[in-house]
Amino acid sequence: MRLIYHPAARAELIEAARFYNGKIPGLGTEFLEELDRAIHRIQEDPARWGAAVGQARRYLVPRFPYAVFYILLPTQLYILAIKHHSRRPGYWQHRLPEQPDESEA
């Protein structure tokens, strides 16, 4: 299954890693490693985690206050957001495609 990140989700990932590295050197790397494990778990069984909004599913990241929001396409896992729990709830929902189509990802 091909992994695709929405450009804003990729930016959220980088921003969070920089934030954590600014707090404690190396913590940003640990955050990225935890996210990598989360993505692998999602890829192993993407339908396991329940629907959050519309077709989007949510995976809660262990150890860090983040969730990965994603949708399943026939041959792709499309990451919509890497959301901190304290951010406003639906800020990322405009990233949901009207009708999922692999050409949009």
Q: What is the dihedral of CA 103, 101, 57, 27, to 10 degrees?
A: 10
For the chain, the structural domain boundaries read: 2-84
Rounded CA gap, 61 and 57, in Å? Answer: 13
Q: The domain at 2-84 falls in which architecture?
A: 2-Layer Sandwich (3.30)
Residue pLDDT tens, the chain, 105 long: 899 999 999 999 999 999 999 999 999 999 999 999 999 999 999 989 988 888 899 999 999 999 999 999 888 999 999 999 998 888 888 888 865 444 444
**Order of all β-strands in the sheet with 56-60:** 2-5, 76-84, 66-72, 56-60, 51-53
